[in-house]
Amino acid sequence: MNIYIKTMREDDDKEVVAQACTSLADIVRDCGFAIIEPYITRLADATLILLRQESCCQQVESDGEDDGDIDHDEVLMDAVSDLLPAFAKVMGSYFDPIFTKLFDSLMKFAKSPHPPQDKTMVVATLAEVAQGMGAPISAYVDKIMPLVLKELASSEATNRRNAAFCVGEMCKNGGAAALKYYGDILHGLHRLFADSEPDDAVRDNAAGAIARMIMVQPQSIPLNQVLPVFIKALPLKEDHEESMVVYSCVCNLLLSSHPQILPLVPDVINAFAQVVVSPNESDEVKTVVAKAVSHLISVYGQQMQPILSALPPAHANALASFANRR
């Protein structure tokens, strides 16, 4: 660990420092907080020096023209920014005091004249920190949300995708601080469900954001307007890391017989049937979906038969097979 810290601070090769950061992030995720606890203060200091672009490798004069604040190596900063979510994952809420020290230096990369890839690096980092750190992210919501809302309308698909993921995590973990942004968030996400959105992963992450919002603040969402758009976007096409949160949200609404989801049951069943035949979805996700289908059959019986009969035979058989495992 001492070698990693020394490399981060003193090595003059950006590629070597980037690899050290990447390896360190992997070690933290794999081994947990215990292994880094004796070193955490020094690790945080070394990370801050890199974010401030003050380490040895960032002081080496390049042969090209100096571009001032934006003259940094993208690979290096991606590796450095990856340390923050790794720390947050293993430290949880205890990461907050360290994040406070790193926050302003990280956010500078989202300001002009930094390029779009820097902005989305920041947004992705913030999303994963929120995911790992939990409730303490609420203190940062007012500083983060203007950036993320703007990124939802970025011309770059990666930026829109990360922004959608980030607003979902901010709403999930930001508590009351995020509530006042719900209207703006829903407006920004709505564009990502439109036919004009060309990227399936962006739409999948928008669905993930809506699911998180519904699960934490269902009373703050106009479900009669949101659910038809949300369900129409299913099944997820590309980013299956969002599958569990999205389908769990839908299933919770079904299991509670929420009045706004019931008219959409035919569309839900059609999506669920595609989920259970998909090679890209885990058995865990398929089991969650099957539980909800079994519930609907047990509660609504005869009303479900026409819906199930309208499915392609292969889909209907697969859905029945999973439902019968319950």
Q: Within 95-222, where are the H helices? A: 96-107, 116-133, 141-151, 157-174, 176-179, 182-192, 200-216
Query: Between 74 and 205, whose confidence is greater?
Result: 205
* Whether residue 68 has pLDDT greater than 80: no
Contacts of 228 (CB under 8 A, 6+ apart): 264
* Whether residue 318 has pLDDT greater than 70: yes
What are the contacts of 293-296 at 24+ separation with CB within 8 A?
293/269, 293/319, 293/322, 293/323, 294/323, 294/326, 295/254, 295/255, 296/254, 296/265, 296/269
Mean pLDDT calculated for residue range 142-161: 97
Contact call for residues 182 and 217 (beta carbons, < 8 A)? yes
pLDDT of residue 71: 47
pLDDT of residue 73: 77
Using a cut of 0.95, tell me whether the model's pTM lies above it: no
112-233 to CATH, choices 3.40.50.2000, 1.25.10.10, 3.40.50.720, 3.10.180.10? 1.25.10.10
Mean pLDDT calculated for residue range 53-74: 66
DSSP string of 158-179, one letter each residue? HHHHHHHHHHHHHHHHHTHHHH
Contacts of 324 (CB under 8 A, 6+ apart): none
* Whether residue 274 has pLDDT greater than 70: yes
pLDDT of residue 284: 94
Mean pLDDT calculated for residue range 34-40: 93
pLDDT of residue 69: 41
Q: pLDDT (tens digit, 9 = 90+) per residue, 103-131?
A: 999 999 999 888 889 999 999 999 999 99
* Whether residue 303 has pLDDT greater than 50: yes
User: Domain-by-domain residue ranges, the chain?
Assistant: 1-59+72-110, 112-233, 235-326
Cis, peptide link before residue 113, omega less than 30° from 0: yes
